């Protein structure tokens, strides 16, 4: 048997260590390559949801919370993969708070891009023309996409009927401020271009009259004529005798009326234009731009009266005799409809 000398062992050791180092190196390279392939596959794997999804990232959410929310909507991944991708992207990667749309097939990498870009979903709230401030507040408070209280209650006629875009979590008070600011800006421009010699002394008075026009007709083609009737009445010192003002006063007194009767014309309120001269003390709703435009640029018609004509519009008259004929025609139509 051949004996191994100490000199032989010293010569074989470097060879064995070299082979071990090579194996470790190869294993490390293989692990890194395999890990890279795994991370890449997770990052680019489409989500399992079949319909578009939305994910909400709250202010202060860290990696774990964001990862959990993405997993909850179907973008399955270990949080470690997100951490590795964050390191790769560097300090320039900054997730944003908001509500983000995730299209069908969104991968983790795409989701991280979307959250980094910060383009939150835009929701919409529409305040129709002719709504009161109380109605607008009720609708805003019922919208669970918004947060916060509304204090103080905005003045009647101070909100612009319009469609407003907002992101989830927007404060309701901020929406009110936008409605007020936009109204001030647009109404001031209309007031600056008003007709000369109108029987209206201020923008506030114009808004009051516009709110009455808004409630009197829903037909765009009639607004100028309806406005002209009230302008003519103001010039002549006649009472406006507008039914919507009576209804508003009754509502302020806590009385909801389905059908306005002649006895209601005697109701004591600072809005009842059958009893008070001139304009009510406040608007009776929030008018739109078209109604204010009609008030500030009314037609020159000579009309002093109007009544429903049975078609959804109104019959206009210059004299009381003509108006009475129109009233009788309307009463005949109502009688026929009730039979």
Q: Where are the domains of the chain?
A: 49-121, 198-338
Beta bridge partners, 100, equal: 55
Q: What is the pLDDT of residue 187?
A: 98
Q: CA torsion sign, 268 to 274 to 276 to 279?
A: positive
Residue 3, token pair as written in the block: 């004996």
Q: What is the pLDDT of residue 110?
A: 94
Mean pLDDT of the chain: 91
Q: What is the pLDDT of residue 10?
A: 53
Between CA 3 and CA 167 the distance in angstroms is: 84
Q: What is the pLDDT of residue 126?
A: 98
Cβ atoms 194, 296 nearer than 8 A: yes
> Strand, helix or coil at 204?
helix
Averaged pLDDT, 74-102 = 92
Q: What is the pLDDT of residue 22?
A: 67
> What is the CA 137 to chain-centroid distance, rounded?
13
Cβ atoms 95, 70 nearer than 8 A: no
The closest alpha carbon to 104, from 54, 52, 56, belongs to 52
Q: What is the largest CA-CA distance in the chain?
A: 142
The closest alpha carbon to 296, from 163, 156, 195, belongs to 195
Cβ atoms 246, 267 nearer than 8 A: yes
Q: Which of 198-202, 247-251, 285-289, 330-334 has the lowest mean pLDDT?
A: 330-334
> Strand, helix or coil at 313?
coil
338 Cβ partners below 8 Å, 6+ apart?
none
Q: What is the pLDDT of residue 103?
A: 92
> What is the CA 146 to chain-centroid distance, rounded?
9
- State yes or no: pLDDT of 161 exceeds 90: yes
Q: How confident is the model at residue 4 (pLDDT cuts 50, 70, 90)?
A: low
CATH fold of 49-121 reads: Dna Ligase; domain 1 (3.30.1490)
Between CA 278 and CA 137 the distance in angstroms is: 29
Averaged pLDDT, 44-57 = 89
Q: What is the pLDDT of residue 271?
A: 97
Between CA 41 and CA 45 the distance in angstroms is: 6
């Amino acid at each position: 048997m051949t004996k191994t000398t100490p000199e032989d062992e010293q010569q074989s050791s470097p060879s064995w260590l070299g082979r071990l180092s090579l194996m470790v190196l190869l294993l490390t390279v293989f692990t890194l390559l395999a890990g890279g392939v795994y991370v890449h596959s997770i990052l680019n794997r489409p989500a399992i949801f079949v319909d578009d999804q939305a994910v909400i990232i709250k202010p202060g959410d860290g990696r774990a919370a964001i990862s959990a929310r993405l997993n909850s909507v179907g973008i399955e991944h270990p949080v470690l993969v997100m951490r590795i991708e964050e390191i790769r992207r560097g300090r320039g990667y900054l997730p944003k708070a908001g509500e983000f749309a995730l299209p069908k097939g969104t991968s983790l990498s795409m989701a991280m891009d979307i959250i980094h870009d910060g383009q939150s979903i835009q929701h919409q709230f529409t305040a129709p023309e002719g709504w009161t401030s109380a109605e607008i507040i009720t609708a805003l408070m019922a919208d669970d996409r918004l947060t916060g209280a509304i204090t103080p209650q905005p003045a009647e006629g101070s909100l612009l009927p319009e469609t407003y875009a907002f992101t989830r979590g927007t404060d309701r008070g901020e929406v009110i401020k936008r409605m007020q600011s936009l109204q001030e800006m647009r109404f001031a421009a209309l007031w600056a271009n008003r007709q000369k010699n109108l029987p209206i002394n201020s923008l506030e008075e114009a808004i009051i009259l516009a709110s009455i026009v808004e409630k009197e007709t829903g037909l765009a083609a009639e607004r100028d004529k309806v406005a002209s009737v009230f302008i003519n009445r103001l010039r002549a010192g006649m009472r406006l005798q507008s039914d919507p003002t009576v209804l508003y006063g009754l509502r302020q007194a806590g009385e909801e009326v389905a059908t306005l009767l002649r006895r209601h014309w005697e109701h004591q309120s600072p809005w009842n234009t059958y009893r008070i001269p001139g304009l009510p003390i406040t608007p009776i709703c929030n008018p739109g731009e078209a109604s204010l435009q009609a008030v500030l640029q009314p037609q020159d018609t000579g009309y002093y009266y109007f009544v429903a004509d049975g078609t959804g519009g109104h019959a206009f008259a210059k004299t009381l005799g003509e108006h009475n004929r129109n009233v009788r025609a309307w009463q005949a139509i109502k009688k026929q409809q009730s039979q």
